[in-house]
Each structure stands twice: as structure tokens, then as C-alpha cells.
Amino acid sequence: MPKYMRVHKSFKQQARRLVKKQTTPGLKNHSLGSARNYSSKLAKIGYWCNSAYKINKLDDITPKMANEFLFEKAETLSQSTLDQYRQSLKHLTTRKKSKLYKFEFIRIKSKLHTVLKTRSYIPEQIELICRAQMPNNALATRICVAAGIRAHELLTIRPLSERKPDERNWNAHLFIGKKNWHRYTVIGKGGLVREIRLPTELASELEQGKLSNPITITDRDIRYSMYYINLGGGQSWSSSFSRASKRQLGWSNGAHGTRHTYVQKRMAELQHMGYSYKDARLITSQEIGHHRPDIINVYLR
């Protein structure tokens, strides 16, 4: 039996035992149906955390992992289903051996109703937004559009010569058509180091702010070593983007919309080069830090 199937089975067993023993007031299951539902969702969360963080026990799920899971699923799940996942995680908050012990979850809102329409921006809209931002945040916006990276990944950019990507089964056709672009790396979800590429104009502007020694930036309670003084990132950049978008356009799809912009443009480029839809989806998914091509469907709406 493949290793991942053994791990998945293990999470099912852990979840069933945990839910069966759960007798804490307010969390006690009132039917076999709800017990099956909670254990099933806990197992799925465990499998996701194993894939992203290589853990093998439900008790090893940290608040960061749990929230990361919920925020990702908020893109594709209804509010009721998202709430069920959150409730299932609460079974771990009463276990002293669990890293979620006494952790209080906030209610994350589903974004399903917003992703049914496109969240991407056209070039003219991006230009208007950049004009309304400070130079460091405008540079961050252009980099996110060019490379499809996340807000916190801006804080982790380093040249490829200074840090190598993690060894994964990377597709051989990544960055096809971008041979002469400058090569960098970022740290994404689960600590995955992956390559990104920037056009010469953006790379030259970025390198003007290169630091000999990094500065420490704290974003959402996580500390980052940042090597570029002229680059925005994290929550500060996201807020700047939304404010600028509302001032210039009268609305905002959020800074995450820049990833949608990248995906839609890249998919069109690859298919124009002759790649099939399936292959284009696989290449694009890895370029933005996912190894599950189906996640691209969210970005193509």
C-alpha cells in the first residue's frame, strides 16, 4: 500500500477514536451522523496538514496550520461546510496533548460568493492602483502581478543564487517563455521554497533596494528576514492595495486578485504556445506554489 494511503488511513483512525471519546460539554456528539461528519472532516484536515507540513498526528496540528487550512478552503466551500470544519477542529482544543489546546477559533467567512465572478484585474486597473500607492507598495503590486506570489511571500524574496528551491517533482516546463527573466525564490505555504521569475525592469528596480544584512519584519505575528528595503509586503501591502483600488476604481477584489490575474494570463499564454488545458493547468499551479492542479479552477472564474 502506498505511504500516503497508510497515512490517510491513520488519520481516519485517529479522528474516529478522538470523536468517539469526546465527552466535553458543548462538544459531545448527539448522533452517529454528526460523529461521522466530524471524524471525516478531521481526517481530511489531517491529510491536508500532512501534505503541507509532513505531520502524522492530529495532535500536532498547530493554530497556524488550522487557520491556513480554513482560509484556503474559504475560497471554495460554503459557509456551513466551512463552519463544520471549524467545529471539528474544536475537538482538539480540549486535549492537553494537542497543540490546539485551549485555542479559540475565529469564524472565518466563506468567499465562495465572491469567487463565482472574476477577481482578476486588467493591466489598466493595475496601473491606476500602482499610481495611488507608495513606491514600495507599487513595486510589490507589480511583482505580484508578474509572478503570482502571495502577500507574505513578498517578504521572503531572495535571488536564486542565494537560496535554492526545495527538491520536488517540479514540472520541466515551468517558466517556459521566460528564459531571460531573472530568477528568485520565495517561501510559501508549509515552508516550501520555490522559484519565481521577474522581468528585467522589475528585477533592476528591486535590486536597487538590496540590503547587505536583512531586517526583521513581523507580519501577522510571524517574523521574516527581509532583504529588500524598497519592497512592501504582507498585511501592510494588502491593505495598501485595497485602499488604492477603492480610491481609483471605486471597488476592490483584494490583493489576492493579483494571483488571479497571473493565473489567467499565464494559462492563456501557455495554451497559445500549444500546451493542452491540462498541461497548462499543471504548469501554472506549480508556478504559484500549488502541487494540486485542480486549485487553479478557483482562479479561472
Label residue 32 by pLDDT band (50, 70, 90): low
Question: How far is Cα 295 from Cα 168, in angstroms, rounded to an integer?
Answer: 18
Residue type, 92: L
Helix%, strand%, coil% for the chain, nearest 5: 55, 10, 35
Instruction: Say whether pLDDT at 29 is over 70.
Output: no
7-11, 52-56, 197-201, 296-300: range with highest mean pLDDT: 197-201
- The answer, as to whether pTM is greater than 0.85, is no
**pLDDT at residue 177 in the model:** 95
At 177 the three-state DSSP class reads coil
Question: What average pLDDT does this structure show over 273-294?
Answer: 92
The pLDDT-based confidence of 30 (bands split at 50, 70, 90) is: very low
Buried b (16+ CB within 10 A) or exposed e, 233-263: bbebbbebbbebbeebeeebbbbbbbbbbbb
Report the distance separating Cα 125 and Cα 238, nearest Å: 16
pLDDT of residue 31: 54
Per-residue pLDDT tens for 34-57?
A: 788 888 999 999 999 998 899 999
Q: What is the SS3 assignment for 227? A: strand
Helices and strands of the chain, counted as H and E runs:
12, 5
CA angle 128, 151, 273 (to 5 degrees): 75
% of the chain surpassing 70 pLDDT: 91
Of 55, 11, 285, nearest to 190 by C-alpha is 55
Q: How far apart are alpha carbons 136 and 127 in whole angstroms?
A: 14
User: pLDDT for 268-279, tens place per residue?
Assistant: 999 999 999 999
The grid coordinates listed for 69 are 487550512
Of 97-101, 194-198, 263-267, 289-293, the least confident: 289-293
- pLDDT at residue 8, as a whole number: 54
- The identity of residue 58, as a single letter, is L
How many residues in the chain?
301
Could you tell me the pLDDT band of residue 80, with boundaries at 50, 70 and 90? confident
- Give mean pLDDT, residues 90-112: 88
Residue 53: Cβ within 10 Å count: 16
Q: What domains sit in the chain, N to C, each tagged with a CATH number?
A: 3-115 (no CATH), 123-299 (1.10.443.10)
30 or 251, which is more confident: 251
Answer yes or no: are the C-beta atoms of 194 and 165 closer than 8 Å: yes
* Whether the predicted pLDDT of 194 surpasses 60: yes
User: What pLDDT score does 222 carry?
Assistant: 85
